[in-house]
Structures are given as structure tokens and as C-alpha cells.
Amino acid sequence: MKAVRLPGLSDYAEVHALQQRLVAQRAAGEIDDVVLLLEHAEVITVGRQRGAAANVVEAGNVPVVRVERGGDVTWHGPGQLVAYPIVGLQGARKDLHRHLRSLEEAVMRLLVAKGLQPQRDDRNTGVWLPPAVTETGTLPRKVCAVGIACRKWVTWHGLALNVHPDPAAFARIRPCGFEPDTVTRVSDHLAHPPSLQELVAPLARELAHTLQLPFDGEIRASL
């Protein structure tokens, strides 16, 4: 597995086109598995779930993009660590549900190492932190969204971990169909939270572990 950290704030359309090229190359056997690690410039993406577009509340000047991944509406932007594993599924790993759970597990292992207590929700994908009392009652808080697409048994799209994004950004949507205050950030739960950059290499290592991919530990600056 090659891990590539894209610099700066990545334009969504450019990264989407890059993913498509990599998926085609991976399906043809021209490249090995790749994980892109990045921060997006602000964007709202709408997944394939029925009625997802209705959960865009007030986009303002933020681009809204329909995408191939499963799931509902998601916001991406500064302070959010995104990972896009371009991975061929073969043998026992030819299981999309297992792949989704492996992405969740990588994030959970990362957060446990930071002293947090992440959990799953049997009804919803993603990674959650223990319940908190909010204006809408007691509910778990979603810290990481997960949504994938698959073409010729090569996966793309992936996960978005809220490290320290502006919480007001989520008011533009009903994230994954929930109220904005369902979303939380790593920085809200630690007295001395890590920077986004400090989480890049550990997340790559955990993805390699849960996806059972060989990894030399190097974070590359380009493909």
C-alpha cells in the first residue's frame, strides 16, 4: 500500500478525477493499492441515498456535488482529515460490508490510542463517541463519516474524520440526515488534541492494519 499526503486544501473535483484515474489503473493491475490523505477545500457532497439532496439546508457559496458513494449528505473542509483508499478487493476481502467495517475499525483504533472511547452505531455507518446531552436530548456524537463506492471490485471514496473543523459549517446541512449538533470533533474531547498532520501517519498505519495491506510506513508527497 502506498500512502500519499496531498498538500494544502484539495479541490474536490480534482481529487475526484484523480480517484477515477487511480481506480481504472488499479482495476487494470497497473498500480498497487493507494491511500490518499488530505484536507478538502470546503464542499458539500450528496451520496446515493434517496432524499439525500433534501438534507442540504443552506449551502450558501459552498459547492454542492453529487457523488457515487453510498450514504447521505456530508460536509468536507479545513480541519477534517479525509482518507480515500483505492483498494482492490480479492478473496475473502471481496466483501463491501467488511471493507466498510475495516475503515471504521482503523479510525476506532486511532482514537483509542489517543485515549478516547469510540463506538459503532448498528443502524448507521461511521464512528461515534459516547453520548452527550445537547439541545435535542442525549445522543451519541458522530466524529467520522464513512461512505464508499466500488468499481470492478476496486473501492474508492472513504472516510472523513473531524479533527478540528469549524462546527458552524455543519449547520449548512443535516449531516447524514441528523441534526448538526450530532457532529463532534476530536478536539472537543481531548485537553491536548493532536493536530491534523499528527494524525496522518497513524491513520495510514491503522488502515494498512485493518485492510491487511503491506505498508512500509512512508507517507509520500506524490504518487
pLDDT of residue 138: 57
pLDDT of residue 181: 83
Structural domain tally of the chain? Answer: 1
pLDDT of residue 83: 98
What's the mean pLDDT in 97-112?
Answer: 97
Residue 44 has pLDDT above 80, yes or no: yes
pLDDT of residue 4: 98
Domain, as residue range, for 143: 2-220
pLDDT of residue 85: 98
Q: Which of 159, 176, 199, 208 is catalytic?
A: 176
pLDDT of residue 165: 97
Residue 76: CA count within 13 A, CB half-sphere = 28
The one-letter amino acid at 183: V
User: Whole-angstrom distance between the N-terminal and C-terminal Cα of the chain?
Assistant: 12
Q: Which cell numbers hold the place of 7?
A: 498538500
Measured distance CA(119)–CA(131) in Å, rounded: 10
Establish whether 144 is a catalytic residue. Answer: no
- Contact by Cβ (8 Å): 75, 175: yes
Assign residue 61 the CATH number of its domain. 3.30.930.10
Nearest-CA neighbor of 88 among 213, 220, 215, 216? 213
Quick: pLDDT tens for 50-97: 888 888 899 999 999 999 999 899 999 999 999 999 999 998 889 999
3-state DSSP assignment of residue 74? strand
What's the mean pLDDT in 25-50?
Answer: 96
Nearest-CA neighbor of 146 among 185, 107, 179? 107
- Contact by Cβ (8 Å): 73, 46: yes
Quick: pLDDT tens for 167-213: 999 999 988 788 888 899 999 999 999 999 999 999 999 999 999 99
The strand pairing partners of 33, in sequence order, are none
Quick: pLDDT tens for 116-170: 999 998 888 999 998 655 555 556 789 999 999 999 999 999 999 999 999 999 9
- Give, for 20, the enclosing helix (H) or strand (E): helix 12-27
List of residues 6+ apart from 188 with CB closer than 8 A: none
The one-letter amino acid at 113: A
